[in-house]
Structure 1
């Protein structure tokens, strides 16, 4: 069976761990727990008629006090670039982390997950920004770890991108 290492990139508290838990275990918890280092989960899915085991590297979020160690990204087949739709600055942080990864490892399939779509009334990322990212070649998915909306589709879409490479 094909295995693909997928790294989740983004700022602290954007919902990376919650997305992984929703995808792998179909659960959500309101409590916030900081990821220390990296946590690895596995899930098999069928992408494009092929079974693929995703090795999901849930990395600690980058913030003002700690930068992501790029060595964690070595061997990645894809990146899920996660931001919080209610905090516009997390999109820039996520894109900056992705740019650093791309400079170090070259072009690797990636998708942006704009998380917390269940909080649409507090949304800070404009449709214009989403359109601009799409025009720049990004695949985008609005997700909600809380409700599960878009979560399966985001991981499926990223798996297909890694297989197409």
Structure 2
């Protein structure tokens, strides 16, 4: 028996949301940048704690100064991944704003702050103090690399566990 759960990928423009989904669902990474227009939907079954969860992954277009996330896309979400490009500090600041608006729209549901681009640590703009601020909020945070796959499976497994434990 499968339990279907809607999971949204949210964050600023060009943080790696689509690359994380592609890595997770298809085990591939492409250097070619693809802008998500609107929303792209994928699915993958997650086995966790003797449960099979059918994740419907909503990869929502990145937010920038011209385009805000449509909060209607979030309706019915069991959880979400808040994706940050660790080489661009402003994407973390944007993530704090997005999280506040997502919670106002759909309430408190499990989410994980994803610090993406772990393979580029020499270019990171996220400081230890920034990470401490996230930890102090009580948020779950996981470092990932869509490019080499580091932490990708862990992010989805952790979110699945949080959803089951809710």
Provide the TM-score with structure 1 as the length reference: 0.97
Determine the C-alpha separation between the residues in 2 that align with 1:96 and 1:4: 24
Question: Offset at 1:10?
Answer: 0.3
State the Cα distance separating 1:48 from its structure 2 match: 2.1
Q: How many pairs are equivalent?
A: 165
In 2, the alpha carbon distance for the partners of 1:47 and 1:100 equals 30
Contact 1:143–1:150 under 8 Å retained in 2:
yes
Cα offset for 1:60?
A: 0.2
Q: For structure 1, which segment, 89-98 or 74-83, has the greater mean C-alpha deviation from structure 2 after superposition?
A: 89-98
Unaligned runs of 5+ in 1: none
TM normalised by structure 2 equals 0.97
Q: Does the 8 A contact of 1:7 with 1:56 survive in 2?
A: yes
What residue is the counterpart of 2:36 in the other structure?
35
Partner of 2:161: 160
Within 2, Cα distance between the matches of 1:128 and 1:157?
24
Confirm whether residue 45 of structure 1 aligns to residue 46 of structure 2.
yes
Following TM superposition, the consecutive aligned residue runs of length 4 or more in structure 1 with deviations greater than 3 angstroms are none
In the TM superposition, what is the alpha-carbon distance from 1:128 to its structure 2 partner?
Answer: 2.2
Q: Which digits, 9 at most, give the CA deviation of each residue in 1:6-54, with x for residues without a partner?
A: 0001011000000000000000000101000101100001122211111
Using the alignment, how far apart are the partners of 1:131 and 1:48 within structure 2?
Answer: 30
Distance 2:33 2:149 in 1: 17
Deviates more, 1:47-56 or 1:148-157: 47-56
1:162 CA displacement: 1.1
Matches of residues 105-120 of structure 1 in structure 2 within 5 Å? 105-120=106-121
> Larger deviation: 91-100 or 8-17?
91-100
User: 1:7–1:76: 8 Å Cα contact kept in structure 2?
Assistant: yes
The alpha carbon displacement at 1:109 in A equals 0.7
Provide the C-alpha distance between the structure 1 equivalents of 2:50 and 2:165, rounded to a whole number of angstroms.
12
| Partner Cα distance (1:48, 1:133) in 2 | 27
For the residues of structure 1 that align with 2:163 and 2:99, how far apart are their CA atoms?
Answer: 16
Cα drift, residue 98 of structure 1:
1.5
1:77 alignment partner, SS class: strand
